[in-house]
Amino acid sequence: MTILPKKLPPSILALLLQLTAVALVVLTLRQFSLHPAPLAFALLCGTLAAVLSRIAGIARWWLFIQFAFAPALVLMLALDIPPGFFLAIFLVMLVVYWSTFRTQVPLYLSSRKVWQALETLLPAEQPFTFVDLGSGIGGVLTHLADSRPCGRYHGIEVAPLPFLWSWLRIRFGGYPHCSVRRGSLWDCDLSQYDVVFAYLSPVPMDALWNKARREMRPGSLFISNTFAVHNQPPHESVTVDDLHRSTLYSWRM
Ligand SMILES: C[S@@+](CC[C@H](N)C(=O)[O-])C[C@H]1O[C@@H](n2cnc3c(N)ncnc32)[C@H](O)[C@@H]1O
């Protein structure tokens, strides 16, 4: 059963449910003039937040986070760690993950075996253009530029630190046929590319498919690592013998 709007990103929904749980616990305790210890108070809040999250239909793996959040906060405060430490961790997470709370596409890297399988899907011999949508730290681009030098490789990455890392890697690694820019993949004109590659998450795949259908040229190739598209069987799929048994799904437009 879902009682809150589905459109809210899960992290925002989770935060709202935490705040609701705290407010309800505070009001109830006041009502009965109770003053529990901080950890007991946090456990009450966590339990209620988990129950509310279950009712709201949030994914099950959030329930533990919802339960543990307030108690973990109390325990960490008891350790008396300087606040600057948490600020520093927050800032590092911010530049690495940036808008993941909204996009629901975090940074994780495709394996070397995926890069090698990708090589076999690229056009043989003739020059071609390739884009990695959400190019992370640029591993796909630099590997392919080394192994298939007849291509022109472009990346688009929204998160600042991965973008900077890939830019430096390309700039100082000697990759004249590679470029990366900072921005959103949704602003990228896919009609410029012969091959479009994405390794994202299940969340944006349907919208990305619609964008690819609208913009990609007939005969060009759309490849998704791991994440398929609903009701769109791929023209080819290649399963890779890596840790995650990744599958490359490809569609000829
Ligand atoms: C799973 S990683 C894949 C990295 C790389 N393509 C690879 O295969 O190793 C997805 C990347 O997409 C980026 N990303 C997520 N949403 C994006 C968006 N709307 N525009 C551009 N990049 C995005 C994330 O910051 C992350 O670096």
The CATH code of the domain that includes 150 is 3.40.50.150
pLDDT on residue 213? 97
Average pLDDT, stretch 153-179?
96
Compute, in angstroms, the gap from residue 198 CA to the centroid of ligand 1: 8
Q: Are residues 133 and 54 in the same domain?
A: no
Q: How many domains does the chain have?
A: 2
Q: Are residues 145 and 37 in the same domain?
A: no
Q: Are residues 122 and 242 in the same domain?
A: yes
Mutate to test the pocket of ligand 1, among 112, 131, 200 (most ligand atoms within 8 A of CB): 200
Q: Are residues 181 and 229 in the same domain?
A: yes
Give domain status of residue 163, yes or no: yes
The model carries a pTM of: 0.87
pLDDT at 4 over 80: no
Residue with tokens 């009682």: 3
Mutate to test the pocket of ligand 1, among 95, 135, 187, 203 (most ligand atoms within 8 A of CB): 135
166 lines ligand 1 (CB under 6 A): no
Average pLDDT, stretch 38-62?
95
pLDDT at 56 over 80: yes
d(CA 201, CA 212): 16
- Dump pLDDT digits (tens) for 73-127: 999 999 989 999 999 999 999 999 988 888 889 899 999 999 999 999 999 878 9
pLDDT on residue 135? 97
What is each CA distance from 252 to 48, 216, 249, in whole angstroms? 49, 10, 10
Give domain status of residue 95, yes or no: no
pLDDT on residue 5? 52
**Residue 97: how many CB atoms within 10 A of its CB?**
16
Q: Are residues 24 and 129 in the same domain?
A: no
Long-range contacts of 46-50 (CB under 8 A, 24+ apart): 46/21, 46/70, 46/71, 48/21, 48/24, 49/17, 49/18, 49/20, 49/21
Compute, in angstroms, the gap from residue 157 CA to the centroid of ligand 1: 6
198 lines ligand 1 (CB under 6 A): no
Give domain status of residue 86, yes or no: no
Q: Are residues 190 and 134 in the same domain?
A: yes
pLDDT at 2 over 50: no
Last residue of some domain: 63, 80, 97?
A: 80
Give domain status of residue 107, yes or no: no
Q: Are residues 119 and 39 in the same domain?
A: no
Q: Is the dihedral of CA 111, 117, 123, 124 positive or negative?
A: positive
pLDDT on residue 225? 97
3-state helix, strand, coil in the chain (%, to 5): 50, 15, 35
Quickly state the pLDDT bin for 237 (edges 50, 70, 90). Answer: very high
CA atoms within 13 A on the CB side of 236: 14
Give domain status of residue 246, yes or no: yes
204 lines ligand 1 (CB under 6 A): no
Helix ranges (DSSP H) in 7-159? 10-31, 38-56, 61-78, 83-97, 100-103, 112-121, 139-147
d(CA 222, CA 121): 10
Q: Are residues 72 and 142 in the same domain?
A: no
Q: Are residues 15 and 75 in the same domain?
A: yes
Last residue of some domain: 64, 80, 96?
A: 80
Helices and strands per DSSP (H, E), number in the chain: 9, 7
pLDDT at 1 over 80: no
Tokens for 179? 């470029």
Q: What is the dihedral of CA 199, 202, 203, 209, to 10 degrees?
A: 70
Tokens for 155? 């990346």
pLDDT on residue 201? 94
Helix (H) or strand (E) holding 208: helix 205-215
- Dump pLDDT digits (tens) for 176-210: 999 999 999 999 999 999 999 999 999 999 999 99
Average pLDDT, stretch 25-42?
96
Phi-psi region of 234 (alpha: psi -120 to 50; beta: other; left: phi over 0): beta
246 lines ligand 1 (CB under 6 A): no
**Residue 7: how many CB atoms within 10 A of its CB?**
7
Tokens for 63? 């329930």
Q: What percent of the chain has pLDDT over 70?
A: 98
Give domain status of residue 142, yes or no: yes
Residues contacting 209, CB < 8 A, separation 6+: 222, 229, 232
pLDDT on residue 206? 96
43 lines ligand 1 (CB under 6 A): no
Quickly state the pLDDT bin for 6 (edges 50, 70, 90). Answer: low
Q: Are residues 55 and 150 in the same domain?
A: no
- Dump pLDDT digits (tens) for 116-142: 999 999 998 789 999 999 999 999 999
Last residue of some domain: 26, 61, 80?
A: 80
Q: Are residues 203 and 124 in the same domain?
A: yes
Q: Are residues 122 and 76 in the same domain?
A: no
Give domain status of residue 196, yes or no: yes
Give domain status of residue 102, yes or no: no
Average pLDDT, stretch 8-33?
94
Full residue range of the structural domain in which residue 42 is found: 1-80
- Closest by CA position to 135, among listed 107, 111, 112: 107
